[in-house]
Structure 1
Amino acid sequence: MHDGLEARVDGLMDGLCDDLKRLTRIPSIAFPGYPAEPVAEAHDAVVALLRDAGVQDIAALRLPDTAPVITGHIPPPTPDAPTVLLYAHYDVQPPGDESLWQTPPFEPTEVDGAIHGRGVADDKANLMAHIGALRAFGGRPPVGIRIVFEGQEEYGSPFDDYPAAHPDEFACDAMVVGDMGNIRAGVGTLTTALRGVVDVIVEVRTIAEAKHSGNFGGPAPDALKVLVAGLARLHDHDGNVAVPGLLRHEWGGAGWTDEEFRTLAGVEEGLPLVGTGGLGERLWSGPALTITGLDAPQVDTAASAVVPYARAKLNLRVHPRQDAFEAEQLLIDFLSALRPYGVPLTVRRSGEPGAGFAAATEGPAYRAAHQALRAAWGKDPVHAAAGGSIPLVASLAAAQPQAEILLFGAQDSLCNLHGPNERVLISELRGTVLAEAEFFRAFAEQSAE
């Protein structure tokens, strides 16, 4: 490890934790119906932190219908030094049911080596990890720096498509996307694959209006029965996705055990996990279809009537290397060809598909990252994947196809992001700051060879 770097990071940790708590106190929820002022307050606080960390060339990218994207630049120290783009976001999820929180969501509380609060892990700890890595070099890192800190990632925004259309604004040799973390606390993890995402709506209309089930039930086509029969065709008897053409491959990286997954997912005692094959391919390198919404009469107020109309929303997660538009069409074609009880289904897109991502892992940035994560956590890092989707990553990859994209950060599998009692381990924040600072050094040295 570079002489003095670990000691400098350790000396920064109290201040980084204090700044993280200050940011977490700001309820920067960029969702409709929430006040805009806290988002603006968080923006200003982050800009001040960046200036203090040595980033002087700071601007705001202001697109319609989204919070400002903070941009910044530190020139490379030499003409041959590489440039690293740092991504994070300063907005957070709503807290949800606050009665489920053990501590107030926007009063960050330190308990047993962890800081609890909404957004503390997703994504303000990763934002502070970027700032901490810059502080470790006194604002003069051995690489050039390009800052891209988003303000409306959680709700989604037009910025998702912006980089691919404006590639020169994102020029770099490597990117560190700080919106991830370790598969287990203390195990340095590079996320190398993200599934794509597709949403569709399936509708059934059968009769003009609800009719008495005693007088008409049986021969009258029941829209809800038709819809349920169609949805049942999406999976085989083991629960595997049955839509032809959707890619699925064995996952070769690190993963959770079945018992770890049961704990993380909160699976009820005695229930099986669904599907066959390895857990990794069911979660990361294969498709997953979820019925996320169903419109039908409510049980408590249901009349004894044949249902005339029903619809469902489906969420499809797509193999990282499969085109999301192709996967969407395969799903639409499959459903449209079904005729449950002779009745057609109407299928339409719900929002734009989001592309997946599969990293190229053989270049100098990945070699430097392996060295850096090994130094920070004292053991060889692992490669993992994420079943969720980050469409911006695909846009960044399209903008700068030659740049290596590294996804790592201070979260871990038990941090409960998006749920109650979200927390970040201080040890994970410390490891991430050290790993990123070590990456700057190792990447600069490898590029100079």
Structure 2
Amino acid sequence: MTPDLSRHEAVHRAADAGIPAALSDLGSLVRIPSIAWPSFDQSALVESADAVAALLRGTGVFDSVEVARAAIPGTDEMGKPAVLASRAARNGRPTVLLYAHHDVQPPGDEALWDSPPFEPTVRDGRLYGRGAADDKAGVMAHVGAIRAVSEVLGDDLDLGIAVFIEGEEEYGSRSFGQFLSDNAEVLRSDVIVVADSGNWDDRTPGLTVSLRGNARFTLTVRTLEHASHSGMMGGAVPDAMLATVKLLATLWDDDGAVAVDGLLERDAPTPDYSEETLRAESGLLDGVRPIGRDAILSRIWNKPSVTITGWDATPVDSASNTLAPQTRVVISARVAPGQDAHEAYRAIEAHLRAHAPFGAQLEFTDVDCGDAFLVDTSGWAVEDARASFADGYGVDSVDVGVGGSIPFIADLVREFPSAQILVTGVEDPHARAHSPNESLHLDTFRNALVSEALLLTRLNERTV
């Protein structure tokens, strides 16, 4: 065997041997309810950041490891605690930036969990718990990979490594851009690995090459100065609920496809993906039909979507015979790759204003836009990633699109325009990130960690 091949095999074995320790450390992280929403205990977020910093210090490879914050532009607030680690490259080797986030979604209704959300539980080859997949497994894939390459390469580890573990990704990454600017010299790199995406399935790695953008906002609909008796005025006076229902219905056609002029689609091929697979992965109920037209993955990866994610309405248990004077909804749109997110938002706003029924008054607030992303797959880092996936998983990777959004990637591109960006992850289609019973497929985690260790080894062999 060539020296490089034997070294790759040694790294593979070391990464594999380190899986039990990585899973143990992952379980400890999952036990910390690190939720960035201000209504939750923020000391847990500090505890989580400190725990991640300790794990990175424990690798012994970094010149510096610190917990840091950045200001939220336009406010007097500071962002949530992030972890920043770095070591300088030597002997002409490149620098890689490894990104993940240690904050998690709120658990939601804990009654819907089969085991407590912050008590890591293994069942049927999966680790259950909030953050077990999104994205504390991403954190531990980085840590485990660094441990393996450090163990095998020792003093031959010349690769520059920066690590940025964010603490507010689930809360909008409000200080992300400022954090990049504040720490630009430490974070500047040749390759960026974002471990916050998914795979084709639990056996096949995915390299994310496209992400939809997002345009999220709050819409307030008003029709009355005050509430009125529905029996006395109903039938002549439009309440805000009626106006909102009619208005929102104009956003889609009868097939459930988005019907907003000015929202664009991307023309790109997609792999075969059956309705049966969609049903299995989404939990679509018997008798409920998918929405939209054309290939299923094209609907998810290349077309816009509009979802109502929140609605202020009187609870059923306290309903009264009252005409509501106003109501609010949160509208979340996903924007096709290739379209500017602010342009898409303006198209939706114009559509809603043009279709407001009965002269209802509309107000748009809390607008948040993030651009889509298309990966340049021609660089040497993608070549190294694909080779590492093939060795780590034992099968070739699939280039995948993602219907979701990672808006901060636009910030990375803006701050580090020459860096090659690799969007990877540890999730499989059944991970249920953001949902009750979130889980991590243990074999997928093992393969992802091994693949990243092999990628770092390959990068350590390059000269820039």
TM-score (norm 1): 0.92
1:355-396 residue CA offsets vs partner (Å, 9 max, x unmatched)? 222211111111111111111112210011222222222111
Select between 291-300 and 434-443 the one with higher mean Cα deviation. Answer: 291-300
Cα contact 1:255–1:384 (8 A) shared by 2:
no
The C-alpha deviation readout for 1:40-95, integer Å capped at 9, x for no partner, is 2222221121112122311232224332211111221312x111100011222222
Q: Aligned partners of 1:374, 1:223: CA distance in 2, in Å?
A: 56
Q: Distance in 1 between matches of 2:350 and 2:407?
A: 24
Q: How big is the shift at 1:212?
A: 4.5
Closer, same or farther in 2 for the Cα pair 1:136/1:164, shift >3 Å?
closer
The residue aligned with 1:131 is 143
Rounded to whole Å, the distance in 2 between the matches of 1:116 and 1:227 is 38
Q: Deviations over 1:223-270 (max 9, x none)?
A: 333322222211122211111111112442447432222222221101
Q: How many angstroms does 1:299 deviate by?
A: 5.0
Count of residues in correspondence between the two structures:
446
**Match in the other structure for 1:285:** 302
Counterpart CA distance in 1 for 2:435 and 2:232 is 47
Range that drifts further, 81-90 or 111-120 = 111-120
- 1:253–1:383 CA contact under 8 A, matched in 2: no
What is the CA–CA distance in structure 2 between the aligned matches of 1:83 and 1:386, rounded to whole Å?
A: 27
**SS of corresponding position for 1:86:** strand
1:137 match: secondary structure: helix
Aligned-residue RMSD, C-alpha: 2.3
Describe the SS at the equivalent of 1:390.
coil
Amino acid of the structure 1 residue aligned with 2:141: A
Q: C-alpha distance in 2, partners of 1:117/1:179?
A: 17
Which residue identity lines up with residue 87 of structure 1 in the other structure? Y
Match of 2:279 in 1: 262
Partner of residue 341 from structure 2, selected from 320, 324, 340: 324
What letter matches 2:203 in structure 1? G
Percent identical across equivalent pairs?
A: 38
TM-superposed deviation, 1:447: 4.3
Deviates most, 24-33 or 116-125: 24-33
- Distance, in Å, in 2 between the alignment partners of 1:220 and 1:118 is 46
Deviation at 1:352, TM superposition (A): 2.4
Contact 1:335 1:347 in 2 (8 A): no
Are 2:53 and 1:36 aligned? no
Q: In structure 1, which of residues 235, 242, 246 is the aligned counterpart of residue 259 of structure 2? A: 242
Conserved in 2, the CA contact under 8 Å of 1:61 and 1:70? yes
The structural deviation recorded for 1:298 is 4.7
- Deviation for aligned residue 1:326: 1.0
Greater Cα offset, 53-62 or 248-257? 248-257
**Range with greater deviation from structure 2 (2-11 or 437-446):** 437-446
Task: Output one character per residue of 1:292-334: Cα deviation in whole Å (capped at 9) or x when no partner.
Answer: 2333455555444554333432111111321111111111112
Q: Distance in 2 between matches of 1:310 and 1:273?
A: 29
What residue identity is the alignment partner of 2:250? Answer: R
| Greater mean deviation of Cα atoms: 29-38 or 187-196 | 29-38
Q: Which residue of 2 aligns with 1:207?
A: 224
TM-score normalised per structure 2:
0.89
| Alpha carbons of structure 1 residues 208 and 383: separation in structure 2 relative to 1, 3 Å | same
Task: Answer yes or no: is 1:334 the counterpart of 2:347.
Answer: no
On the 8 A contact 1:88/1:126 being kept in 2, the answer is: yes
State whether structure 2 residue 203 is matched by structure 1 residue 196.
Answer: no
- What corresponds to 2:382 in structure 1? 366
- Structure 2 alignment gaps of length 5 or more: 71-76
Q: 1:421 and 1:155 mapped to 2: Cα distance?
A: 20
Q: Shift of residue 444 of structure 1? A: 4.0
2:97 maps to 1:85: yes
Gap change, CA 1:52 and 1:229, over 3 Å in 2: same
| Displacement after TM superposition at 1:222 (Å) | 3.7
Which is worse superposed, 52-61 or 171-180? 52-61
Evaluate the alpha carbon distance shift between residue 336 and residue 77 of structure 1 in structure 2; reply closer, same or farther with a 3 A threshold.
same
Q: Deviations over 1:134-177 (max 9, x none)?
A: 11122654521011011222223432322564544421111111
